[in-house]
């Protein structure tokens, strides 16, 4: 039976609004790129909040933060609650942040009531979930889960040539613990949906069954700079025209596998980027996603065929590389059962769903039982300063998170006994 404990919705909301000032933008969003000074500030804030609750805070070698609240039985592995505090350059107040601050509210609620869980609880802030400064995304949880190693993470560069290793040293969050050494028995992640389904169906809680597969690519197209006024069209080697044709094909590939497939070019750089110079070089990124990895294989082959076809024509040089691949993930049935039970106990309408976005839980599911809880966001809009989730929806998500963790804690002890 889930204990009748209630989170403090106003306290949760106040913490969301307070932390939104760290990196806050004029349009009401948040710009808090990973391992920048604003990231350091919000990390320092979280550390102080957790230590004030009597938690022990540890940091690993890639900056993942772990705050541990003791339980009645120290022989049991902790139950983790985790997400991220970094944002997109024009991000919102809730993406990832709700998962960390919702977990912090769970800790505060337990502290207020004097409730002692059987297993210790652990609050986690994963490094570089967004991947907006350092690609690939979910880098901190990926190193933790053994998908990447520390050397790979340290070598990642942002578009200004600063490495992850240099950045983490600069803000003082290179921890002593080896990645993966701070262990836990399961993890729950609360997150906004970042899509329109819950809002459209008037459901409050999404019970996330898994995450679709994702692949990221980088493409460089090389032509030749020339004067726009004196170079005949027939003699041009315009890298931007070539890139535009590839981008159009990328959209076509996604549409060929609709409605489940998506494909996007989200970053593009043109050189020399002068109004009277034919572009000589274009760099852009590709993001393909689908719930079925075999369909992603087909989409990848079509992309590479389009690149080979352009390169074969000879006027433009084209190079590509796959920089990230995250296979489709299914979450743990036991953890999901606790989420469903908690949602029902709290009186919220819920529905099963698959996540279209990537999350740290996708990597953690490789090394520990894991589940995710979604709440709606207005218009399904995310990665945008106008991202919005209501007071009531944030409260509902945190309440279901609390109940799910307590249910899993109780049932886990029963299994061991």
Which residues make up each annotated binding site? 84, 95, 130, 191, 383
Report the candidate in 416, 417, 413, 410 with the shortest Cα–Cα distance to residue 1. 410
Report the candidate in 78, 84, 88 with the shortest Cα–Cα distance to residue 27. 88
- Residue 100 is encoded by which pair of tokens? 């960390």
3-class DSSP assignment, residue 283 = strand
Give the Cα separation of 409 and 414 in Å (integer): 9
End-to-end alpha carbon distance in the chain: 17
What's the maximum distance between 2 C-alpha atoms anywhere in the chain? 83
3-class DSSP assignment, residue 249 = helix
Phi-psi region at 11: left, alpha or beta (left = phi > 0; alpha = psi -120 to 50): alpha
Give the residue ranges of DSSP H helices in 20-171.
Answer: 37-52, 97-113, 139-144, 150-155, 164-170
Give the Cα separation of 75 and 158 in Å (integer): 42
- Which residue's entry shows tokens 């109004």? 275
3-class DSSP assignment, residue 134 = coil
- Residue 157 is encoded by which pair of tokens? 């560069």
Phi, psi for 350 (deg, rounded to 5): -130, 160
Phi, psi for 325 (deg, rounded to 5): -140, 125
Helices (H) and strands (E) in the chain, counts: 12, 16
Angle between helices 97-113 and 9-19 (to 10 degrees): 140
Tell me the binding residues for Zn(2+). Answer: 84, 95, 130, 191, 383
Residues 360 and 189: beta-carbon distance below 8 Å: yes
- Which residue's entry shows tokens 């957790």? 50
Q: What distances in angstroms separate CA 405 from CA 97, 196, 257, 336, 342, one per listed residue?
A: 18, 26, 38, 11, 9
Give the residue ranges of DSSP H helices in 257-353.
Answer: 293-312, 333-346
């Amino acid at each position: 039976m889930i204990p009748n404990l209630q989170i403090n919705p106003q306290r949760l909301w106040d913490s969301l609004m307070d932390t939104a000032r760290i990196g806050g933008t004029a349009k009401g969003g948040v710009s808090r790129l990973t391992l920048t000074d604003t990231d350091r500030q919000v990390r320092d804030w979280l550390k102080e909040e957790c230590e004030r609750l009597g938690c022990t805070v540890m940091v690993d070698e890639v900056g993942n933060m772990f705050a541990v609240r003791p339980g009645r039985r120290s022989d049991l592995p902790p139950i983790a609650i985790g997400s991220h505090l970094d944002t997109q350059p024009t991000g919102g107040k809730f993406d990832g942040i709700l998962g960390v601050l919702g977990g912090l509210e769970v800790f505060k609620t337990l502290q207020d009531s004097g409730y002692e869980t059987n297993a210790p609880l652990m609050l986690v802030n994963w490094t570089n979930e967004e991947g907006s400064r350092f690609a690939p995304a979910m880098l901190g949880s990926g190193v933790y889960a053994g998908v990447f190693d520390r050397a790979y993470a340290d070598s990642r560069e942002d578009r200004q040539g600063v490495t992850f290793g240099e950045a983490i040293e600069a803000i003082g969050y290179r921890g002593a613990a080896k990645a993966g050494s701070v262990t836990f028995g399961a993890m729950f992640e609360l997150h906004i949906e970042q899509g329109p389904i819950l809002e459209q169906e008037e459901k409050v809680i999404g019970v996330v069954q898994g995450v679709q597969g994702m692949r990221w690519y980088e493409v460089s197209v090389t032509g030749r700079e020339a004067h726009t006024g004196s170079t005949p069209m027939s003699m041009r080697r315009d890298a931007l025209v070539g890139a535009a044709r590839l981008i159009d094909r990328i959209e076509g590939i996604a549409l060929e596998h609709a409605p489940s497939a998506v494909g996007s070019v989200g970053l593009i750089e043109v050189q020399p980027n002068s109004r009277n110079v034919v572009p000589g070089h274009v760099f852009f990124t590709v993001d393909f996603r689908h719930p079925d990895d075999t369909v992603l294989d087909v989409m990848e082959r079509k992309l590479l065929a389009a690149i080979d076809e352009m390169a074969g024509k000879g006027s433009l040089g084209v190079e590509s590389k796959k920089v990230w691949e995250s296979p489709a993930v299914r979450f743990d049935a036991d953890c999901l059962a606790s989420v469903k039970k908690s949602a029902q106990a709290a009186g919220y309408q819920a529905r099963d769903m698959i996540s279209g976005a990537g999350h740290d839980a996708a990597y953690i599911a490789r090394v520990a039982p894991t589940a995710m809880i979604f709440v709606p966001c207005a218009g399904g809009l995310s990665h945008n300063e106008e991202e919005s989730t209501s007071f009531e929806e944030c409260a509902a998500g945190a309440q279901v998170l609390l109940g799910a963790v307590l249910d899993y804690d109780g049932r886990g002890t029963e299994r061991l006994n």
